[in-house]
């Protein structure tokens, strides 16, 4: 009887050790400038864990990966912990396209359009042809500059016309 009781006690002790296991959750941002991550730490086995990625201005959240595997496309990822986890929150820098056109086309040439990262300084330039003069840069129906060389920081999709 003592042997049986000792075996039962050892089995119970091992079960308690497994249930009381602590696991680490490591979270990082890729790139580091892309945003903030929270939720890393040490947790007991079976605990519900939520890690959260918050993009910085000019970035968007893409996904959570572990190694080469995407584990979630939600900025807040919840799971029950049963092993150590190393999670990476992936961010993309937001890009915008600046389109420039001359109006009328025969009036001159324009330059400076293209694709730019959010927050970039952009300069568009208009050069009138002989017999024409530059009037203004417009975005939609709004005049944004009366200078032939117009500089701005981009924060949205923009189309400029002169």
Q: Are strands 76-80 and 48-55 parallel, antiparallel or unpaired?
A: antiparallel
Please tell me the distance from the alpha carbon of residue 80 to that of residue 95, in angstroms, as a whole number. 36
Cα 29 to Cα 40: distance, rounded to the nearest angstrom: 12
Statement: residue 36 has pLDDT above 50: yes
- Say yes or no to pLDDT of 158 above 90: no
Residue 62, exposed/middle/buried by CB under 10 A (0-12, 13-18, 19+)?
middle
Measured CA to CA in angstroms, residue 135 lies from 106, 123, 128, 132 at distances of: 14, 17, 10, 9
Beta bridge partners of 159: 99
pLDDT of 141 reads 92
Q: Which of helix, strand or coil describes residue 17?
A: helix
Above 90 in pLDDT, residue 5? Answer: no
Instruction: Name which of 73, 29, 77 is nearest 49 in CA terms.
Output: 77
The DSSP output letter for 158 is E
Considering the chain, what is the average pLDDT of its residues? 89
Q: What pLDDT shows up at residue 73?
A: 98
- Asked if pLDDT for residue 77 goes beyond 60, the answer is yes
* The pLDDT of residue 113 is above 50: yes
User: What pLDDT score was predicted for residue 157?
Assistant: 56
Give dist(CA 48, CA 79) in Å, integer: 6
pLDDT at 47 over 60: yes
Residue 81 and residue 53: Cα distance in Å, rounded? 18
Tokens of 130: 């002989």
Q: What pLDDT score does 155 carry? A: 83
- In the predicted structure, residue 52 carries a pLDDT above the cut 50: yes
Instruction: Indicate the domain borders of the chain.
Output: 20-93, 95-161
């Amino acid at each position: 009887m003592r042997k049986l009781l000792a075996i039962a006690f050892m089995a119970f002790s091992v079960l308690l050790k497994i249930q009381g296991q602590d696991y680490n959750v490591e979270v990082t941002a890729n790139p580091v400038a892309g945003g903030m991550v929270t939720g890393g730490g040490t947790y007991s086995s079976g605990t519900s864990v939520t890690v959260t990625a918050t993009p910085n201005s000019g970035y968007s959240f893409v996904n959570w990966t572990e190694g080469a595997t995407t584990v979630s496309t939600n900025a807040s990822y919840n799971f029950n912990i049963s092993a150590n986890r190393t999670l990476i929150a992936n961010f993309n820098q937001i890009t915008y396209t600046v389109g420039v056109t001359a109006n009328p086309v025969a009036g001159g040439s324009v330059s400076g359009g293209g694709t730019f990262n959010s927050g970039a300084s952009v300069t568009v330039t208009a050069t009138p042809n002989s017999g024409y003069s530059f009037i203004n840069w417009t975005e939609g129906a709004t005049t944004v500059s009366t200078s032939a060389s117009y500089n701005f920081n981009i924060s949205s999709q923009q189309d400029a016309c002169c």
